[in-house]
Structures are given as C-alpha cells and as structure tokens.
Amino acid sequence: MPPGQSGRNGYARRSGAEERPARRHRVWHGPFARRAVHAVTPAASSPDRLAGQAGQARVARWAGQNGAVHTEAAEPEPEPEVRTISSRFVYADNWTRLRKDEIERSDGFKGTYAVVERDNFALIVPAERGGFHLVEEYRHPLGRRGWSFPQGSFPKGAAGGTSEELARTELAQETGLRAGRLHRLGTLAVAHGMSSQYGEHWLATELTQGEPDLEPEELGLRHQWVPREDFEAMARDGRIVDTSTLAAYALLLMAERRGEVTLP
C-alpha cells in the first residue's frame, strides 16, 4: 500500500463530514493529452494550486509533438470512474506538492486520496562504444548513493520548453555531454498509484564531451561510462535501484527488437 494511503484501493473511508460545493474545471494530468476532470473548492485556489497548474500547463506543451492534430469534433469524454469532490494542497515546496482529494467512486463509495504532484521530467540514455554513461549521487530518502541515467525537470520558475530541450539540458548539466541525436523511447508514469508524474525517456547518441554545470542540489554527483554488461550486472547486484532507469532500459530493448535503433 503506498505511503499516505489507507483503506481499500488507497481510499480512506469518510464518515460524518459535510461535503462542500465545488466548481469543476479541466486540468492536464500527465504531459501527453491525458486530461482529467477535477473539482476544486475555493480553498484550493491558492498560489500553490496555481503554481501546480502552471507546471502542468508547461509540460502540456510537450504533448504537441506526440501526434497529428485532428480538426474534427472531439468525442465526449467518458465520465471518470472516480469523481473529485474537492481538492486542496496540504504541503508544497519547490519540488513536491502533496494534494488531498475528497473523492467519490462510481459505486457511491466516498473517501480521501493523497496524491503526490511533481513536475514531469526527462530521462536520457547516453549510449556510445557499446555502453552507457551513468551518474551517481546520494539519495536522501534511501540513505545511500545510487547509479542512474541522467534525468531531471525544469527548475521552479523556469520558462520551460519541450521535452527534447529538457533532455538536452539535463544531459549537459549532469555529464557535460552534448547529443548530436536524440531518439524518443517513450513515456511512462512513475508511480501511478500515488503520483501524477510522468517521465519521457530519450536515447542520446553522437555524443561529444563538454563541461558539466551541476546545480547546488547535485553536489557530489559523479559521471562514469560503463560497458553494457556492467550496466546489467549493476542492476542485478543492487547498485542500480532506480526504477525509471530500468524502465528506460526496457524501452530501449523493445526499440532494438523492433529495429528502430542500433546502439553505437
């Protein structure tokens, strides 16, 4: 059961509490044309709420590169299986927002659901010479250092841009590498039972080395190239425990199987 959730399927039963009227509007959940209907109480229309919506709108611009534009009338969206009655933030900082939703399921069951909101991110698989470039840094929640592919999101307050622009920026900042070519591998939800965050995964090739430009939060980060067989060994022995890194590798394997990419 994910942290912050309780009860069946993550719902906490609610009893005796008076429901507040809510107004409905659409917000973007996930970067790629995934819309959900939310009901928001006046209390939820806070600066933090608006900041969260701005972040969603910024990443929604990524959606424009994922398919053709259709001009015919859109089909009506189906009613959501879980209706949001009200929503409010209970915690927010520069990176994370914890949202508490009062919800009602299609069977009439009411409860609460805690949702972790974080800005969507780009992950880069930098490949050359039969191996990959990895980064290692200390991960406070785990109390240990760990290896992963470079990844990150736009800093708070930044103008933002496309997912490809973010991928190039993160790769250069963390490793100093510049990619002559990027191939999109796919988009995945990070923790679909507790978070609305998505990651877009890219393969970077035709690499040239430059100087990294680490952020203050990345103090102690180091970068190393490893052969492909060493990468797989690191995943087996626990040196790599980042699920997004292993998910990106799975997407890469499928792209290779389809003949879409050939690693240098």
Q: All domains of the chain, ordered by start, with CATH?
A: 8-117 (no CATH), 121-257 (3.90.79.10)
Is it the case that residue 1 has pLDDT exceeding 60?
no
Q: What's phi and psi for 85, nearest 5 deg?
A: -80, -45
Confidence label for 5 from pLDDT (cuts 50, 70 and 90): very low
* Whole-number Å distance between alpha carbons of 101 and 83: 10
Is it the case that residue 78 has pLDDT exceeding 90?
no
Is it the case that residue 37 has pLDDT exceeding 60?
no
Confidence label for 83 from pLDDT (cuts 50, 70 and 90): very high
* Mean per-residue pLDDT over the chain, rounded: 80
User: Can you give the pLDDT at residue 158?
Assistant: 72
Q: pLDDT, tens digit, for every residue of 94-133?
A: 999 999 999 999 999 999 999 999 999 999 999 999 999 9
Q: Of 50, 18, 24, give the one whose Cα is nearest residue 38.
A: 24
Question: Residue 77: is it exposed, middle or buried by C-beta count within 10 angstroms (0-12/13-18/19+)?
Answer: exposed
Q: What is the mean pLDDT of residues 6-10?
A: 40
Q: Are 263 and 131 within 8 A, CB to CB? A: no
Is it the case that residue 240 has pLDDT exceeding 90?
yes
- Residue 164 DSSP SS3: helix
Is it the case that residue 228 has pLDDT exceeding 70?
yes
Q: What is the mean pLDDT of residues 39-44?
A: 36
Is it the case that residue 43 has pLDDT exceeding 80?
no
User: Can you give the pLDDT at residue 38?
Assistant: 36
Provide the strand spans (E) within the chain.
12-13, 23-28, 35-40, 82-92, 97-105, 110-117, 121-128, 131-139, 144-148, 151-152, 177-189, 198-209, 222-227
Q: Higher-confidence residue: 31 or 207? A: 207
Is it the case that residue 21 has pLDDT exceeding 60?
no
User: Can you give the pLDDT at residue 251?
Assistant: 98
* Whole-number Å distance between alpha carbons of 119 and 27: 14
Is it the case that residue 159 has pLDDT exceeding 90?
no
Give the CB-side neighbour count of residue 56, counting CA atoms within 13 A: 19
Is it the case that residue 80 has pLDDT exceeding 90?
no
User: Can you give the pLDDT at residue 72?
Assistant: 66
- Residue 57 DSSP SS3: helix
Q: What is the β-pairing status of strands 110-117 and 97-105? A: antiparallel
Q: Higher-confidence residue: 14 or 174? A: 174
Where is average pLDDT lowest: 39-43, 49-53, 117-121, 158-162?
Answer: 39-43
User: Can you give the pLDDT at residue 156?
Assistant: 74
* Whole-number Å distance between alpha carbons of 10 and 116: 13
Q: What is the β-pairing status of strands 121-128 and 198-209? A: parallel
Q: Of 80, 78, 83, 77, give the one whose Cα is nearest residue 11.
A: 83
Q: Of 132, 141, 156, give the one whose Cα is nearest residue 230.
A: 132
123 alpha-carbon distance from chain centroid: 9
